Amino acid sequence: MTTTAATDAENSGAHPLFAQALRELGLDEVVPLIRRFPEATRTAAEAAAALGCELSQICKSLIFAADGVPVLVLMDGASRVDLELVRKELGADKVTRAKVDVVRETTGYAIGGVPPFGHRTRTRVLADRSLLGHETVWAAAGTPYTVFPMTPRDLVAHAGATLVDVRESAS
């Protein structure tokens, strides 16, 4: 990414760490697509309402602790993660939601703004197959006010994710 593109990424409202990740991944074309909202889009429902898209088109980036080790799960906004399926997928004894400080320490971002890639530390990433049901999904760009679009396959590839089935079934 050129210096101008780097400045554009930061001017878009994207978090500087995420702007750097876009630069390093050669994703200059994503920068002009970043959308910034005056109101927080911290939840999937808020983001979908702001964008005028389906809730399932939002990609949630959720950090869990598998036997105490952080793991990122990418899930569509209309679904919930089944912790038992994540536990089985990882071969872990116990999977829990990560605490707020662990999320920030692991990713470099606050809850509600965690993007699917561009994190402070490298973690294992699982992506639920439900994301593949859309041509485009929207994910946080490092802040609770910014989102960006990407094809699900590209998002999964840039996140270094393994495709899995960890969605909670409707009961």
140: domain CATH number? 3.90.960.10
Residue 170 belongs to a domain: no
* C-beta of residue 166 within 8 angstroms of C-beta of residue 86: yes
Residue 49 belongs to a domain: yes
Q: Which residue, chain included where needed, has tokens 């760490």?
A: 17
Residue 141 belongs to a domain: yes
Count the domains in the chain.
Answer: 1
Question: What tokens were used for 135?
Answer: 């041509």
Residue 169 belongs to a domain: no
- Residue range(s) defining the domain that contains residue 9: 4-164
Which pairing describes strands 146-150 and 95-97: parallel, antiparallel, or unpaired?
A: unpaired
Tens place of pLDDT per residue across the chain (171 aa): 444 444 555 556 788 999 899 999 999 899 889 999 888 788 899 899 999 999 999 999 999 999 999 999 999 999 999 999 999 999 999 999 999 999 999 999 999 899 999 999 999 999 999 999 999 999 999 999 999 999 999 999 999 999 999 999 865
| Distance, CA of 63 to CA of 140 (rounded, Å) | 14
Each residue's pLDDT tens digit, 15-63: 899 989 999 999 989 988 999 988 878 889 989 999 999 999 999 999 9
